[in-house]
Amino acid sequence: MPVTMKDEWMKLANSPIQTAHAARGWNRWILAVPAVLAVLTSGLVGHSSLRADEIIVTGGRNYQGVTISTATWEQVEYRLPGVSTSQKLSSDKVLELRFSGEPANLSRGRGALEQGDLEGAVSALTSASSQGADRHRSNASYLLAEALLRLGQQDSSKLTAAIGAFDAFIATYEPKKDFYVPYARMGLSAAYKSSGKWSDALQALQPLAQGDLGNKWVLGGTLGKAEVLLAQEKWTEAREMFSSVANDSRAGASMGTVAWLGYASCQLGQKQWSSATDTVRQKVLENRDRNSSVTTASRARAWLIWGRASQGQASGDRTQLQWALIRYFRAAVIATTGNGDILAESLFRAKSVARELGLNDRVEELTQRLQKLAPNSVWNQ
């Protein structure tokens, strides 16, 4: 059954913009977007201090109020409250670790990173990387590298710092088999990829591909290589790799979601507009309520892909272009919390659609918004 305009408005009902403007029609909705973006990118809130260790897992209930004794890329060892014997959990099932008793700067830095205040995150995490117990310093050092990578994706001049931070983390903590080393290798590859250094990006993934960091991360290495091929616009090769990860039960929901998004991006590159739309709707957006692994970044990227598909198949049709504009705005609103590269691309592409629709005032407003929110982005050149 075809999707109607009414159906689409209902899907967008949870959007801050839609709640305020649905009754006034799509033109007034568009008029409100720049102001809403401004509100959403201001007034960032802090992050409360953590009171106990927590193990955040994929596809199950998180372990709260535990005491983590060791955490490597192989397994996490922990104790339940009031229990002296230790329990063990395969790291393949773990998404993230939260440690109690951490320095205030670490809590502050993580909160800033989650809220998209990247400069604030870098400042706090730089201090935290030399404070507290070794596991706190490890956590802070990894998060610092991630914050620098996100900055680098907005401003390429920051990529060198991100590469240096990932290298330093790996040099210190890979010999200790730290839990976050595989993630750091993925981040290092992403930083090299954003710098256009393809061979270095692939080299960073080599220990993962070889299985040195566990079976799960063999798939992680494949996923990283697919992202490098995607950046080089090698659609067919990348698509095959994304498909192999997405359809592998060992990948887990989180890695599988990223693989499906990459797969849909390849479909865009091959101008398979309807297929790309079906992929992001069925594999990502319609899984949102029952799949907690669909992160904010993944949802934003899904809406961006859907917008590109709508624009690609429009061929001058105003209704399709209007839908593309709505989907770009939806991606931009979701991406305001720290996903600067997706935000910048969404605003850039929204501007191109507004120009095609003859909405000159909107073009000017989007130009100003892009310059303000992502002044050094490649999408603002």
Looking up residue 11, the CATH number of its domain turns out to be: 1.25.40
Q: Is residue 377 part of a domain?
A: yes
Q: Is residue 87 part of a domain?
A: no
Across 41-50, 150-159, 238-247, 287-296, least confident range: 41-50
Q: Is residue 248 part of a domain?
A: no
pLDDT band at 288 (very low <50, low <70, confident <90, very high): low
Inter-residue contact 100 to 79 (CB < 8 Å): no
pLDDT band at 292 (very low <50, low <70, confident <90, very high): low
pLDDT (tens digit per residue) in 148-163: 999 998 888 889 999 9
Query: What value does the mean pLDDT take over residues 266-295?
Result: 85
pLDDT band at 355 (very low <50, low <70, confident <90, very high): very high
Mean pLDDT of the chain: 84
Distance CA 3, CA 323 (A): 12
pLDDT (tens digit per residue) in 328-340: 999 999 987 667 7
Q: In this structure, what token pair is assigned to residue 180?
A: 């976050």
pLDDT band at 214 (very low <50, low <70, confident <90, very high): confident
Q: So what's the pLDDT on residue 51? A: 57
Distance CA 141, CA 97 (A): 14
Distance CA 66, CA 86 (A): 10
Q: How many residues does the chain have?
A: 381
Q: Is residue 376 part of a domain?
A: yes
Q: So what's the pLDDT on residue 163? A: 97
Q: Is residue 17 part of a domain?
A: yes
Query: What value does the mean pLDDT take over residues 257-278?
Result: 97
pTM comes to 0.78
pLDDT band at 77 (very low <50, low <70, confident <90, very high): very high
**113 has a pLDDT exceeding 60:** yes
Residue type at position 13: A
Q: Is residue 316 part of a domain?
A: yes
Q: So what's the pLDDT on residue 9? A: 33
Q: So what's the pLDDT on residue 154? A: 83
Q: How far is CA 126 from CA 129, 141, 192, 351, 356, in A?
A: 5, 8, 21, 36, 45
Q: Is residue 308 part of a domain?
A: yes
Q: So what's the pLDDT on residue 225? A: 96
pLDDT (tens digit per residue) in 19-46: 333 333 444 333 444 333 333 333 333 3
Q: Is residue 8 part of a domain?
A: yes
* Structural domain harbouring 378: 1-40+295-381
Query: How many domains are contained in the chain?
Result: 1
Inter-residue contact 68 to 89 (CB < 8 Å): no
For 64, list phi and psi in degrees, rounded to 5. -110, 150
